Every structure is written in structure tokens, then in C-alpha cells.
Structure 1
Amino acid sequence: MLNCPICESIRNREAVVQESEFWLVRKAPAQKGLDGYLYLECKRHVESWFELTPEEWADFGKGMELGVSQIASEDVRPDKLYLAAIAEKVPHLHIHIVPRYESNEKGIPHLDKALGTGFLPSP
């Protein structure tokens, strides 16, 4: 889709670390300041879970496995993985895979660093 930053990143292969047939795992920008933070993105431009084909659904688990195994292969394993899929600011279905390490703040404040303000209720 024109003017979709995720479609553009997929076309340019920016920061791709893993991929399955229908999903791509990409590193989040370093300026987020969150070690290991990844995006799982549908290769096809879809704006809703309801638009996924049966084949994309079947491959979704493989995409998640690739993202989680990428994080697990790092030198320091996180205590938790936070997942979020909102697709409001960027209307292209994608999942935020946000590792939380022992030194990170727990819960919503940590996830808020990944998503930006305005998406999650204040604690």
C-alpha cells in the first residue's frame, strides 16, 4: 500500500532478522531504547486480524516462533515477553514483541515505552 511505513520497510528489507512465508520479523528502531524489541509484521498489507487468509493464520505461529527464538538466542534471556497488536497509528497488522529484562520497569510502563503514549491506561 502507498504511504504505509511497514510496507515500505518490508519492500526495503530494513532490519529484517527472520521470516516465514507470510510473516516477517524486524528489529525495532534502536532509539526506542529497548533491547531485543522486535516487530512481527504480515508481509501483505492487512489492517485487521479479520483480513488474514487461512494460510496467513496457519503461518502466524511460525512467525511468532521465529521472533521468540530470535530473542531467546541473545546473550541475556528476558524475564518476560510482552506482546501488543494495536495497528492504530500505523494501520498495517503488526505485533510488538517487547522483552522485559530484570532491570526494566514491569507492566504497562515498560510496554508504553514501545508503543508510545496514548495507547495504554495510566497505572
Structure 2
Amino acid sequence: MHVATTRRQHKDKIYETHLLRRSYREDGKVKNETLANLSYLPEETIQVIRESLAGKHHVVAGEGFEIKRSLPHGHVAAIAAMANKLKFPALLGPACRERDIIYALILAGAIRPASKLATSRWFKDSTLGLT
């Protein structure tokens, strides 16, 4: 099977047709049987069909990787968005590593109050340590 593309010109317009075809021999002559008209499909879909028929393997979204771990992020994003809206990071001074650490400690205190040691250990299980 293959995808055959034909182009016809009528007046000033070019018409392009994509057909899914099967080739076979009958009495020593090569024949083509049209199985489907793919002309109304998007060009990307036709290209995927063409590649699949050529033997290329496509990965379905979500199957090409394995989730090793996921972290909850909604509560962190909500607190960080509100703090940014209130321009809280600017109150802590110019952007630097120390300011980011203090900012993360303050946000962590609002999300999950604990000691500094417990908070620093919690960062590896939170997206707050990544922001």
C-alpha cells in the first residue's frame, strides 16, 4: 500500500488528490486499486499515514515515556502567583540566590509551616524548590 498524490491543473487552479492505493499484478501487468480518498485529511495526517506505510513507527502521546514521580503543584502555584501579584519578591530586594531562598522559605511557611530544616528537606518533594 502507498499514498499516491496526483495534481491536476484546471484554468489557474491546481487540484491535488491524495489516494490510498494498493498495487498488485494481474496477468503480468501492474495494477492499482484505490482503497480510500485521503484528500480531505490535513496534510500532517497524510504525512503520518505515508510514513507509517513506509515502516516508520510513531509513538502515541503518553506512551513514549514513563512517569517516575509527580509532584503536586497547584497550591504552590496559587501562593506564588498571589505573592508575585502583590510584588512580594521586590520587597525582599534585588534578584539574587539569597532572595530566592528567603522567598521560597516564606512561601513554604504559608503552604506547610515547619522548621527551616524540615522545610529544606520538604523542598525536594515540592515544586517550590524548582521555581
Give your verdict on TM over 0.5.
no
Question: Shorter-chain TM-score category?
Answer: under 0.3
Higher RCO structure (Cα 8 Å, ≥6 apart): 1
Structure number with bigger Rg = 2
TM-score with structure 1 setting the length: 0.19
TM-score with structure 2 setting the length: 0.18
> Which has the larger helix fraction?
2
